[in-house]
Structure 1
Amino acid sequence: MTVSLLSLAQVSLTEACTTLNAGYEGYVVPVAFDPVSLARRIQAEHIDLVASQLLRVDDRSAGIMLIARRGHTSRLAALGIAAPLRGAGIGAQAVAAAIAEARSRGDARMVLEVIDSNTKAISTYTKAGFAPHRKLVGYTHDPVPPAASEDSLMPCAAADILPLLLGAWPDDASWQTSPLCFAGATKPIEAFRTGDAAALVDASGQAVRLLTFAVRSPRQGIGRRFMQSLLARFADRPWTIPATLPATQAAGFLAATGWKQSALSQLEMELPLG
């Protein structure tokens, strides 16, 4: 079964979402794309619509592949195959094409994330040459009561805290937690800061999502006080951190401030291209 590729630069967001939703039907976790959420993801994750592809077999839609790019690193951001065509080697052909294209661009490496219980996908990526790099985890936090007193937490523009995030965040951040994802952040994402700590949150859903958090200096309990104030800012609402954070990053701090690791985790895999 031969797969032909059509650049997503030639496809509407509506068609891309329809193909993504079909490709992720019956996935390990529920997935639903719409044009607005996909457009925001394209912007934040630096998805390259020219490099991303609609997969076709015999002139019919077979799946979709999203490719993100930063510098000399490419990322397989999504790969969904239509349910009737799974197991026919379409995913393997798409991955091979993405690797060949990345090499032709002179990229140094390719990365991806996959839910660690998705053994079929992991097998496809392993056969293509990808190897496990690290575990990515998420967290939840129970609702907290309103703060008894005022604090110094200040709303601000997301751009105002980018220098602090870039200075405090580790160089080996995962793709989706890198401060580069938030350079163009706008509503519904909200930014808060004190003099030495800052965070970005998305409170548009049932649970408040903590997208990123940084402290200029971890001494003197600044981070803990800021976290307490942030949680109280959205009193009586549950919180989540998506499963995109390296398992070794901030684990002690998050546990100390009441966060619990989620059951869902991902495996970050990488392939050197040099």
Structure 2
Amino acid sequence: MPFTVVPATRFSCEQLTAMLNDCFEGYSVPVLMSVSVFAQRFGAEGLSLMDSCVWMDGDNPVAVAIITRRGQSARLAAFAIRPAYRGKGLGKKLLAPLMAALGNDGVQEMWLEVISDNQPGVALYQSLGFTITQGLFGYQGMQPGQATTRSLQETAVMPLVRTLMSASKERLPWLMDPATFITLPCRAFVHQQAYAVVSFLANKPQLRMIYVAPELRHRGQGREMLRALNQQFPALASVVSVPESFTTLFASAGYMTMPISQYEMRAALI
């Protein structure tokens, strides 16, 4: 029986959250988000309800795809199939037409992240034309000991976002791009000449960005910023979207590498 593709615009935020949670049931990494986290997270990432969709089998949701967009780039922010429909080769059958539709709508490239241990998922995306661009990792600080005199000052978010968007010449992972911080509940901090952004989805602090101007790097300022952040937010964790090249920096500041890692993948649509 063919499935019906329904645009996400037909559903409320509550319905989309419930369907996404149902589709992620039994997934290797538990996913269970509230309506508010769904709205804040995907809204900050550039949620496109026009491109996101739900596949229905009668009245039953089969799979959900959440698409985020920035200009001519799109990202598969979430894709999950309900347990009863898994193992039937549906992933490629569902996603291939979706990617074709995005290409016809002017999207030139598509991005996603997948858990690196999820070999079936990696194979699925490779069969759709995605290639691995880099490994992404997460880091977590230790419980700090005696308080130090490190001075961590708060600064305004939007001026920092404008500075980062104009100063950064490097392409960053989607979740670390300064565009994400425009609507994300977050706070910005400065220590010496290093800057950081900490988000607060569900009131839980999470490190989303650390930045030192290129001409000021390799002087220990990034390391001291990370230590100061961990002092203010004990055992602070980063998003699992940090390029592997940052490992030495986080290790020097006393952070541990999280056991979960991801691959960033890209496909050219045009």
- Aligned: 1:193 with 2:190: yes
What does residue 247 of structure 1 align with?
244
Check 1:231–1:19 CA distance in 2 against 1; reply closer, same or farther (3 A cut).
same
Shift of residue 147, structure 1, vs aligned partner: 3.0
Aligned residues: 268
Contact 1:207 1:240 in 2 (8 A): no
Q: Secondary structure at the match of 1:143?
A: coil
SS at match of 2:16: helix
Aligned to 1:32: 32
**CA positional deviation for 1:177:** 1.1
Aligned twin of 2:157: 158
> Per the alignment, do residues 154 and 129 of structure 1 end up closer, same or farther by CA in structure 2, a change over 3 Å counting?
same
How do 1:53-92 residues align onto structure 2 when only pairs under 5 Å count? 53-92=53-92
Q: Which runs of 5+ in 2 are unaligned?
A: none
1:8-30 deviations in Å (ceiling 9; x for gaps) = 11201111111111110011111
| Normalised TM-score (structure 1) | 0.90
Contact 2:67 2:76 in 1 (8 A): yes
1:271 pairs with 2:270: no
* Whole-angstrom distance in 1 between the partners of 2:198 and 2:88: 41
Distance in 2, matches of 1:140 and 1:261, equals: 7
Q: CA RMSD in A?
A: 2.1
Residues 208-232 of structure 1: CA deviation (Å, up to 9, x unaligned)? 4211111122254332333332222
SS at 2:183 equivalent: coil
- The whole-number CA distance in structure 2 between the counterparts of 1:19 and 1:147 is 45
Structure 2 counterparts to residues 77-116 of structure 1, below 5 A: 77-116=77-116
Between the aligned partners of 2:20 and 2:263, the Cα distance in structure 1 is: 21
Distance 2:110 2:7 in 1: 19
- Amino acid of the residue matched to residue 183 of structure 1? I
Identity %: 27
With structure 2 as the length reference, what TM-score do the two structures score?
0.91
Look up the match of 1:261: 257
Structure 1 residue 194: deviation in Å?
A: 4.0
Q: CA deviation at 1:101?
A: 1.0
